[in-house]
Amino acid sequence: MSPSPRPLPGGIHYGGDYNPEQWPEETWAEDAKLMQEAGVTMVTVGVFSWARIQPDYAQWEFDWLDRLMDLFAAHGIGVDLATGTASPPVWLVRLDKDVLPVTADGVRLEFGSRQHYCPSSDAYYKAAGKLVRKLAKRYAKHPALALWHINNEYGDHVTECFCPASAQHFRRWLKQRYSTVDALNHAWGTAFWSQHYASFGYVEPPRTAPGPVNPTQLLDWRRFCSYALLRLHRMEREILRQHSPGIPATTNFMSMMKELDYWEWAKHEDVVSDDAYPDPADPASHVGAALNYDLMRSLKGGKPWLLLEQAPSGVSWRPVNVPKPPGLQRLWSLQALARGADGIMYFQWRQSRAGAEKFHSALLPHRGTASRGWQETVRFGAELGRLAEVAGSRTAAQTAIVLDWDSWWALEGTDHPSERMRWRDLLRPWYDALYARGVTVDFVPPDADLSPYRLVLAPNLYLLRTEHAQRMAAYVHEGGHLVCGPFSGVVDEHDHLHAGGAPGPLRQVLGVVVDEFWPIPDGETVRVGEEAQASLWSEWLVPEGAETLLSYAAGVLGVLDGLPAVTRNSWGRGSARYLSCHLGGFGLGSVLDGALTEAEVLPVLDGAPPSGVEAVRRGPYLFLLNHTDREAAIPAPPGTDLLTGEQVGEHLRLGPLGAAVIRTTPTETES
């Protein structure tokens, strides 16, 4: 048995992607020196080096990489060595055009960008495996090697392929899943619209069709596509385990991404890593970033993770790429740290002079060491050095949000009462409400042990397996508190409606049943209670034991007026609230306040932080982050601010985009 991977060296990692193939070797030497000056501890190398390592079918060139690895070892800089498989060289796609992916409309995508491979291509699988094996054997014992970086951002451009090889792979996967074609026919409900299959051999991927495609076929396709990419990842992981045992491996996730079920993926990571590109032009993007970071922390049950990519300033792929004002990259990096990251890395080290990303910011911008970007790079590197003791500590949460990719995929299927019910849109107001209250949350999968949490929120669980609902009911029965959002418990794992109507297997614990869905037309809202407003969605709700907390005051076409909108049910030693509509900020906030109080969830500070200020506790460290352009006064506990080394008292003042990382005394950390 191979040894379990050793952890990354301690401290907070600092660095970025380094693309040496874009530069002459004299520049490498200068870069290594500048990296030392900036306090860089780790660089990601080789993400796009396949064509440089293997310029042609039978040609291998490793000497340059040997020299580069030696250079970093000599400078005490660790390497997150990429397997380079995200961008196959042109010779491979010319040898076998089936490597190139095909869209749902049958268009084969051309070479000339990146990630141009079909997840089910045999030729790609073999060529990638060969490359990884050679890299692993060659560098397994290299002193600079700190971490393996598998592929790059799986699913960034291509998440699915509709070519014949993919179709065959899909059929194999279906056969494994269902064993018999009868089981598939049942699951897919093929009695409908004459879709019966006499054999697996007739099944194809859900290509562009005349009308709505079978929803369970679509759902299984989503499951399959996540699996097909994961299979590639596992192939590489296995090779690394064999030939480079003991070295940890990661692949950089893309925050809360619909196409990949990261609960499944995270099982194969030694350390979770994320690429995050919040938009500086969006005044609320730090809240979305917090949400993503909470997910990254949660994917391995609270273990520290790495922010492997972010932009030092502007990106180059939005229609308009607004740079980060001075101080913003520091603040947003501290935010990742607050939410459990042990590494702050960037794309990229040196700004490219050619290619699609030549206008993307870098730690070392075109203007060189005179630039404001470089000044910030050096200053922040020094600050991170002062935060080393934070590494390894845990961000704790008493509240959890259930996230289920199966349910997400099914929710966003076709032909629903409303197309507007999108997971991210449903989730966000719930997260925003907790964020504003300074309540930290974890994400959990639907089969999680919920007992560590005082409060569990399910903003939407359209697809809900009976066994998962039973776990939730048992959690409530034992004294837990649950809040469940609308259009939940609607279908089972095959996207078949639960008998008797929503919320299906949660009907008893919630003490309600839905008579009919009443989606709200675009642009309209309905009034709930005295002041709250709901948009997108409402339901004709019938209590079966639950008390009514809020009623519809003026519903769609006036039909629901006076009927219950929000309910609460006592169940065992706990409580279960149900929201039958998509409530806006104020209304949702009041329902959540009731649940937070009943569950005795403690916010990070006494009371909500001032507006625009983020408060997160990580172990004994209290992070206070001022996301506004005004000074903020914050009632904080006394302690030492690690950023300044100074004692801070009860009334901390933070300037615009200011931050403090306060080491509090143990008694103050009890929560």
CA distance 134 to 129: 9
> Please, are residues 532 and 589 in contact by the beta-carbon 8 Å criterion?
no
Known active-site residue 309: yes
CA distance 521 to 496: 25
Considering 160, 236, 259, 309, which one is annotated as catalytic?
Answer: 309
- Site for ligand GAL, rule CB under 6 A: 47, 152-153, 156, 275, 277, 309, 311, 315, 347, 357, 360
Smaller CB distance to ligand GAL: residue 23 or 540?
23
Considering 153, 160, 236, 259, which one is annotated as catalytic?
Answer: 153
Least Å distance between CB 400 and ligand GAL?
29
CA distance 336 to 310: 11
Least Å distance between CB 149 and ligand GAL?
10
CA distance 128 to 325: 40
Least Å distance between CB 360 and ligand GAL?
5
Least Å distance between CB 49 and ligand GAL?
12
Read off the amino acid at residue 15.
Answer: G
Q: Which tokens is 97 given? A: 């055009």
Smaller CB distance to ligand GAL: residue 153 or 432?
153
Read off the amino acid at residue 399.
Answer: T
Question: If residue 624 lies in a helix (H) or strand (E), which one and from where to where?
Answer: strand 621-626
Smaller CB distance to ligand GAL: residue 190 or 255?
255
Smaller CB distance to ligand GAL: residue 269 or 493?
269
Cβ-defined contacts of 260-264 (< 8 Å, 24+): 260/154, 260/155, 260/159, 260/226, 260/229, 260/230, 260/405, 261/223, 261/226, 261/405, 261/406, 262/295, 262/299, 262/405, 263/299, 263/403, 263/405, 263/445, 264/226, 264/227, 264/230, 264/405
Do the bridges between strand 532-535 and strand 539-543 make them parallel or antiparallel, or are there none, so unpaired?
unpaired
Least Å distance between CB 315 and ligand GAL?
5
Least Å distance between CB 133 and ligand GAL?
23
CA distance 361 to 65: 25
Q: In this chain, which residue has its C-beta nearest to ligand GAL?
A: 347
> Please, are residues 537 and 546 in contact by the beta-carbon 8 Å criterion?
no
CA distance 283 to 287: 9
Please give the DSSP secondary-structure letter assigned to residue 90: H
Q: Strand pairing partners for 108?
A: 102
Smaller CB distance to ligand GAL: residue 200 or 277?
277
Least Å distance between CB 257 and ligand GAL?
11
CB atoms within 10 A of CB 508: 16
Known active-site residue 516: no
Smaller CB distance to ligand GAL: residue 178 or 277?
277
Smaller CB distance to ligand GAL: residue 46 or 438?
46
Region of 562 on the Ramachandran plot (φ > 0 left; ψ -120 to 50 alpha; else beta): left
Please give the DSSP secondary-structure letter assigned to residue 112: S
Least Å distance between CB 111 and ligand GAL?
17
CA distance 9 to 342: 11
Residues with catalytic function: 153, 309
